């Protein structure tokens, strides 16, 4: 893999958003607002701040991105110490993770993949619950200690519990969007956002979902649906070039009659604008939008993985220099709304927050043993009732 090719076509003048299903330029070009050094590429005087993004929105994203990194770093450390069993970090992908959450509304539903936990946090999912899920303790209201770490879910935040099985988010999101289209009317419908990684585009579910997303037209309108692929260029040890011979992932949308857009996933402002434009379009009844956010997995796939065994880490170093947090904070400093050193201070403050909450939740007991028997049967079958009685007898 050569580092520059995937971003060489980035251009400020990429024709976006035009939202026609045959706009191959948007699928082949990469929409970008900020250059890697944080400078707006081609400020547009007709847009707010020249970038189309209000300072408070940019600051809100920056805070969540820095918080996400602080959490990820602490959780990776915890896994290495054997205090949790697994963790999938979004390091280097914070813009691609947080910006869609800023663009969407709380009434919209999210079917997340492994890297989207930060979307829930940005929506207000408590850090206490997030950490409790990773620990599988009694306050793990997401999965009651029955799942691996990173399987966050919250009804209150319309954040559907992650299924580890790749690409399942896609047909599930189509189904949710279909229900939304039946229950609500354009032009202001809630929408569903389904997230996947680049590797998931090779799954059968991807094809099933893309086909269904195109042909299902309740009330004669497109589904209120955004399908979102974080192309971090690796699926564990398989590079994206082995997933497809297509020039981009976004261009696949064309074959299904959807809108495809490719965006620089390390540019929070660009992702925000793309998801906002897509949301406005699908709320109003437009064709579902498939977004490819180009980024890079600068860390390991998960704590069970060692990328130095299969990839050239010199490339990783180059991507580390395109840090989405540095890009956004430099932009905000240049605008005069972020002080020198403020981003670093925030990082320290969030790390303290994580340590503080962790110190409290690590002491919590596991969920009650009897909860193992809940949530599947309305009435326990006799063999499980017998086992439940045995469990109760064991408890002090």
Ligand X SMILES: Cc1ncc(C[n+]2csc(CCOP(=O)(O)OP(=O)(O)O)c2C)c(N)n1
Using Cβ positions, the residue closest to ligand X within the complex turns out to be 197
* Comparison of 235 and 354: residue with beta carbon closer to ligand X: 235
Q: Is 159 or 234 the residue whose CB approaches ligand X more closely?
A: 234
Return the closest-CA partner of residue 249 out of 47, 28, 100.
Answer: 28
> Quick one: 120 or 361, whose CB is closer to ligand X?
120
Contact between 140 and Mg ion per CB under 5 A: no
* Distance in Å, CB of 72 to ligand X, minimum: 13
Instruction: Write down the least CB distance from residue 204 to ligand X, Å.
Output: 9
Decide if residue 232 touches Mg ion (CB under 5 A): yes
Q: Is 328 in the site for ligand X (CB under 6 A)?
A: no
- Which residue of 40, 100, 190, 197 would you call a contact of ligand X, by CB under 6 A? 197
Among 79, 232, 295, 316, binds ligand X (CB under 6 A): 232
With helix as H, strand as E and coil as C, how does the chain read?
A: CCCHHHCCCEECCCCCCCCCCCCHHHHHCEECCECCCCCECCCCCCCHHHCCCCHHHHHHHHHHHHHHHHHHHHHHHHHHCCCCCCCCCCCCCHHHHHHHHHHCCCCCEEECCCCCHHHHHHCCCCHHHHHHHHHCCCCCCCCCCCCCCCCCCECCCCECCCCCCCCCHHHHHHHHHHHHHHHCCCCCCCCEEEEEEHHHHHCHHHHHHHHHHHHCCHHHCCCCEEEEEEECCEECCEEHHHCCCCCCCHHHHHHHCCEEEEEECCCHHHHHHHHHHHHHHHHCCCCCEEEEEECCCCCCCCCCCCHHHCCCHHHHHHHHCCCHHHHHHHHHHHHCCCCCCHHHHHHHHHHHHHHHHHHHHCCCCCCCHHHHHCCCCCCCCHHHHHHHHHHHHHCC
224 token code pair? 């209120």
Name the minimum Å distance from CB 192 to Mg ion: 21
Q: Does 166 bind ligand X (CB under 6 A)?
A: yes
For residues 251 and 231, what is the distance between their CA atoms, to the nearest angstrom? 13
* Residue 236 touches ligand X, criterion: CB under 6 A: yes
Determine if 116 is a binding residue for Mg ion (CB under 5 A).
no
Minimum distance from CB of 132 to ligand X (Å)? 23
331 touches ligand X by CB under 6 A: no
115 binds, among ligand X, Mg ion, none (CB under 5 to 8 A by kind): ligand X
240 to 89, 200, 341: CA distances (angstroms): 19, 10, 36
Using CB under 5 A, which residues numbered 51 to 70 contact Mg ion?
none
> What is the smallest separation between the CB atom of 153 and ligand X, expressed in angstroms?
17
Q: Which residue, 165 or 385, is less far from ligand X as judged by CB?
A: 165
Are 196 and 166 contacting, i.e. CB atoms less than 8 angstroms apart? yes
- Among positions 101-130, residues that touch ligand X (CB under 6 A) are 114-115
Question: Segment near Mg ion (CB under 5 A), from 34-42, 59-67, 192-200, 353-361?
Answer: 192-200
232 or 248: CB nearest Mg ion: 232
235, 278, 338, 361: which one binds Mg ion (CB under 5 A): 235
Query: Contact region for Mg ion (CB under 5 A) — 123-131, 139-147, 235-243, 285-293?
Result: 235-243
Q: How far is the CB of 202 from ligand X (least distance, A)?
A: 8
- Kindly tell me which residue out of 198, 205, 267, 323 binds Mg ion, with binding defined by CB under 5 A: 198
Q: Name the site residues for ligand X (rule: CB under 6 A).
A: 114-115, 164-166, 196-200, 203, 230, 232, 234-236, 297, 301
- Binding stretches for Mg ion (CB under 5 A): 197-198, 232, 235
């Amino acid at each position: 893999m050569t580092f520059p090719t995937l971003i060489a076509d980035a251009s400020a003048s990429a024709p976006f958003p035009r939202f026609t299903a045959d706009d191959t330029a948007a699928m082949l070009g990469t929409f970008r607002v900020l250059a890697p050094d944080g400078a707006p590429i081609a400020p547009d005087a007709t847009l707010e701040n020249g970038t189309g993004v209000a300072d408070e929105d940019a600051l809100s994203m920056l805070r969540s991105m820095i918080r996400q990194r602080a959490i990820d770093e602490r959780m990776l450390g915890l896994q290495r110490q054997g205090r949790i069993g697994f963790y999938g970090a979004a390091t280097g992908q914070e813009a691609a993770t947080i910006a869609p959450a800023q663009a969407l509304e709380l009434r919209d539903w999210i079917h997340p993949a492994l890297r989207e936990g930060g979307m829930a946090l940005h929506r207000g999912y408590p850090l206490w619950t997030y950490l409790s899920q990773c620990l599988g303790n009694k306050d793990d209201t997401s999965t009651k200690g029955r799942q691996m770490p990173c399987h966050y879910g919250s009804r209150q935040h319309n954040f559907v519990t992650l299924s580890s099985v790749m690409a399942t988010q896609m047909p599930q999101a189509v189904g949710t969007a279909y229900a939304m289209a039946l229950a609500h009317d354009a032009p202001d419908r809630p929408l569903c956002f389904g997230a996947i990684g680049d590797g998931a585009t090779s799954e059968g579910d991807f094809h099933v979902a893309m086909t269904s997303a195109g042909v299902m037209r309740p009330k004669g309108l497109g589904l209120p649906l955004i399908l979102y692929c974080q192309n971090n260029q690796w699926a564990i040890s398989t590079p994206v070039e082995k997933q497809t011979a297509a020039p981009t992932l976004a261009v696949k949308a064309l074959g299904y009659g959807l809108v495809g857009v490719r965006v620089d996933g390390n540019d929070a402002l660009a992702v925000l604008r793309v998801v906002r434009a897509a949301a406005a379009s699908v709320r109003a009844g437009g064709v579902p939008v498939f977004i490819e956010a180009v980024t890079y997995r600068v860390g390991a796939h998960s704590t069970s993985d060692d990328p130095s065994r299969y990839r050239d880490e010199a490339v990783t170093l180059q991507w580390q220099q395109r840090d989405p947090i540095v890009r956004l904070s430099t932009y905000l400093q240049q605008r005069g709304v972020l002080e020198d050193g403020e981003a670093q201070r925030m990082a320290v403050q969030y790390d303290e927050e994580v340590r503080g909450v962790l110190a409290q939740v690590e002491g919590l007991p596991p969920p009650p043993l009897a909860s193992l028997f809940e949530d599947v049967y309305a009435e326990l079958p006799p063999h499980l009732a017998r086992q439940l009685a045995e469990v109760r007898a064991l408890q002090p």
